[in-house]
């Protein structure tokens, strides 16, 4: 552990926790949007947009705090990176939800339901990991499980794309569904990027 001779600002941990909690709420709204009825999509998409704006506010607050803090709890570059990557996840959530609303597909296939469930689980793990940044304890299970979930999402995405091009859907529907699925898969990748950043911080600070 590095020796620090000056006190560190610890408010960053609360901000990262708040950002991850907002992410979890977003994942749950997205899952409701993907799996629920068409009639509820507009309301849920608005909730998701509001959560994305709240996430932006959290990110900006972290950035301002970095710029005004003399001694940070870990490297400034890592704080910027973690804040940015949490924000990226929410951006993908919002983009996926917006496409579901805009494309007006009656029923989304079960693969998308499963992908949204993976995202909720990943967001749950991320939200539970952020408070542990302060002690850097019991975090390895988090990034290992996130990696496994991302691999599951990749496999699901590949199989879904193969089925899309198997002739069950018309060409326009294929394009719409593939674009939505790409945003969901990108969100899973983004959650893994968050976990990779946490792992990097833990290695540097231990």
Kindly state whether residue 3 falls inside one of the protein's structural domains: no
- Provide the residue range defining the domain that includes 113: 11-205
Burial (CB count <10 Å: 0-12, 13-18, 19+), residue 191: buried
Residues 6+ apart with CB under 8 A from 134: 10, 13, 73
Q: How many domains does the chain have?
A: 1
Give a yes or no: residue 4 inside a domain: no
Residue whose entry in the numeric block shows the structure tokens 């790409």: 182
pTM greater than 0.75: yes
Q: Is residue 171 part of a domain?
A: yes
Domain CATH code at residue 197: 1.20.58.220
- Mean pLDDT over each residue of the chain, to the nearest integer: 93
Rounded Cα distance between 95 and 103, Å, is 12
Neighbours of 184 (CB within 10 A): 28
Per-residue pLDDT reduced to its tens digit, 1-11:
444 433 456 68
pLDDT digits (tens, 9 = 90+) for 68-101: 888 888 889 999 999 999 999 999 999 999 999 9
User: pLDDT tens digit string along 147-178?
Assistant: 999 999 999 999 999 999 998 889 999 999 99
Decide if 179 is inside a domain: yes
Q: How far apart are CA 193 and CA 22, in angstroms?
A: 17
- Classify residue 1: in a domain, yes or no: no
Structure tokens at 171: 């060409």
């Amino acid at each position: 552990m590095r020796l620090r001779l000056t006190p560190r600002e610890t408010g960053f941990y609360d901000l990262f926790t708040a950002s991850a909690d907002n992410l979890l709420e977003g994942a749950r709204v997205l899952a409701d949007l993907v799996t629920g009825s068409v009639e509820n999509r507009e309301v849920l998409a608005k909730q998701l947009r509001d959560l994305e704006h709240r996430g932006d506010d959290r990110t900006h607050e972290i950035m301002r705090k970095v710029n005004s803090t003399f001694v940070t709890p870990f490297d400034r570059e890592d704080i910027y990176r973690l804040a940015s990557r949490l924000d990226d996840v929410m951006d993908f959530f919002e983009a996926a939800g917006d496409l579901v609303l805009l494309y007006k597909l009656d029923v989304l296939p079960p693969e998308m339901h499963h992908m949204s469930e993976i995202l909720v689980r990943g967001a749950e793990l991320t939200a539970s990991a952020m408070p542990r940044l302060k002690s850097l304890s019991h975090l390895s299970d988090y990034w290992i499980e996130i990696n496994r979930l991302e691999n599951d999402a990749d496999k699901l995405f590949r199989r879904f794309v193969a089925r899309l091009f198997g002739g069950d859907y018309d060409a326009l529907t294929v394009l719409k569904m593939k674009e939505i699925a790409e945003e969901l898969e990108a969100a899973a990748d983004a959650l893994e990027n968050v976990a990779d950043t946490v792992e990097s911080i833990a290695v540097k600070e231990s």
